[in-house]
């Protein structure tokens, strides 16, 4: 654009100077020798214009050269701008291992900050952004926040990505996928989501299905299973062996096993419950407290006293206190002694 204007202005200047010399100074012609060779005879006005033409050509070449260099520099900025936009999109999506290479100093600084920062939009801001890539991602994030399920496959997010987990959770809640879809394909979904839906799954699933996906068992889902043992609704019949297989998956302590006994007290028949905790305490001395709790809770006083009498003075203090109160005619709920 500027070269075009410069060319027009130069042509006007050259025509004006040539006309002025020819009209007001001289109309003579002259031949000039250059490097021993005689050039054609031309009007002096033309010879005056020739240096202007040479100057014009040289200046156009000069401007074209630096325009080309500036174009390359501008191209670097444009590419770096696209990279910084992609980096912001990746940051919004929560991608890991973000690392981009920038060719300009200013974008190197911004890129290093963006690639090593956690950025997540708050509120709906897409109306303030003029970039389509960012707007699309912000729209997806807002939809996921609002409980909608969206298609984010093109972003290749890993199953452990927080947005991917939230979107899969929305798909589950919106009935786009079932709990068994998630549990049967663990490679496609994060384990935390699988454990979350397993809690819902065990509420009415048959025993074989519970055992099939038992790797996703948590304490929450375990106690839901225990609440179904011989319950009035969604009844679950389960053997002690099956229960102990479930217990092995979790890192349960003595207090947890006492809670297990409390949960089973509502539905499991006393004989099976006693046998279960007898077996558990035989294999692990740290679980004797849960066995003692079960015995006292079922009013099986004599077996409980045998254990207490053979123990050290510093062992099972709470249960010894409970036993002493019973001997004094004070009857309290055993649950008060294990909190």
E strand segments, 15-142: 29-30, 33-34, 37-38, 42-43
Please state the separation of Cα 137 from the chain's center in Å.
Answer: 13
What pLDDT does residue 149 have? Answer: 94
Interval 235-264 mean pLDDT: 94
Does the pLDDT at position 72 exceed 80?
no
Q: How many domains does the chain have?
A: 1
DSSP assigned state of 229: B
Provide CB contacts within 8 A for 312, sequence distance 6+. none
The sign of the CA dihedral 236, 241, 242, 248 is positive
**72 found inside a domain:** yes
**49 found inside a domain:** yes
**204 found inside a domain:** no
**40 found inside a domain:** yes
Is the distance from CB of 273 to CB of 294 less than 8 angstroms?
yes
Q: Which residue has the higher pLDDT, 326 or 304?
A: 304
Does the pLDDT at position 127 exceed 60?
no
- How would DSSP label each residue in 247-311? HHHS---HHHHHHHHHHHTTTS-HHHHHHHHHHHHHH-GGGHHHHHHHHHHTT-HHHHHHHHHTS
Three-class DSSP category at 201:
helix
Q: Which residue has the higher pLDDT, 98 or 151?
A: 151
**19 found inside a domain:** yes
What pLDDT does residue 201 have? Answer: 96
**22 found inside a domain:** yes
What pLDDT does residue 65 have? Answer: 77
Is the distance from CB of 229 to CB of 208 less than 8 angstroms?
no
**136 found inside a domain:** no
Give tens-digit pLDDT for 258-291. 999 999 999 999 999 999 999 999 999 989 999 9
What pLDDT does residue 123 have? Answer: 67
Buried b / exposed e along 87-117 (16+ C-beta atoms within 10 A): bbbbbbbbbeebebebeeeebeebbeebbee
**Dihedral (Cα; 176, 181, 183, 187), 10-degree rounding:** -100
**290 found inside a domain:** no
% of the chain surpassing 70 pLDDT:
96
Q: Which residue has the higher pLDDT, 117 or 241?
A: 241
Q: Identify the weakest region by mean pLDDT among 144-148, 270-274, 325-329.
A: 325-329
Give tens-digit pLDDT for 93-122. 988 888 888 888 888 888 888 888 888 887
Do strands 33-34 and 29-30 pair parallel, antiparallel, or not at all (unpaired)? unpaired
What pLDDT does residue 124 have? Answer: 63
Q: Tell me the residue range of the domain where 75 lies.
A: 2-95
Give tens-digit pLDDT for 27-57. 777 777 767 676 677 777 787 888 888 888 8
CB count in 10 Å sphere of residue 291 = 23
Whose CA is closest to 297, among 321, 319, 327?
A: 319
């Amino acid at each position: 654009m500027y070269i075009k204007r410069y060319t027009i202005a130069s042509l006007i200047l050259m025509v004006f100077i040539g006309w002025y010399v020819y009209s007001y100074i001289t109309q003579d012609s002259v031949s000039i020798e250059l490097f021993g060779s005689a050039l054609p005879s031309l009007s002096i006005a033309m010879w005056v214009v020739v240096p202007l033409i040479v100057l014009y050509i040289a200046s156009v070449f000069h401007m074209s050269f630096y325009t080309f260099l500036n174009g390359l520099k501008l191209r670097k900025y444009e590419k770096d701008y696209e990279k910084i936009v992609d980096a912001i999109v990746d940051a919004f999506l929560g991608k890991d291992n973000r690392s981009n290479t920038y060719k300009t100093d200013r974008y190197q600084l911004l890129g290093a900050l963006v690639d090593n920062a956690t950025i997540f939009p708050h509120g709906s801001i897409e109306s303030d952004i003029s970039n389509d890539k960012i707007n699309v991602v912000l729209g997806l994030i807002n939809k996921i926040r609002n409980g909608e399920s969206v298609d984010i496959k093109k972003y290749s997010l890993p199953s452990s990505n927080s947005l991917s987990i939230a979107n899969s959770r929305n798909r589950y809640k919106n009935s786009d996928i079932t709990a068994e879809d998630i549990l049967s394909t663990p490679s496609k979904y994060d384990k935390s989501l699988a454990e979350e839906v397993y809690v819902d799954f065990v509420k009415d699933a048959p025993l074989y299905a519970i055992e099939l996906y038992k790797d996703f068992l948590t304490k929450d889902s375990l106690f839901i299973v225990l609440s179904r043992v011989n319950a009035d609704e969604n009844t679950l019949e389960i053997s002690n062996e099956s229960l102990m297989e479930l217990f092995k998956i979790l890192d349960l302590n003595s207090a947890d096993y006492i809670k297990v006994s409390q949960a089973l007290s509502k539905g499991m028949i006393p004989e099976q419950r006693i046998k279960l905790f007898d077996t558990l305490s035989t294999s692990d001395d740290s679980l004797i407290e849960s066995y003692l709790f079960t015995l006292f809770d079922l009013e099986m006083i004599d077996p409980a006293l045998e254990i207490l009498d053979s123990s050290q003075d510093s062992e099972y203090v709470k249960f010894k206190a409970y036993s002493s109160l019973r001997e004094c005619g004070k009857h309290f709920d055993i649950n008060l002694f294990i909190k």
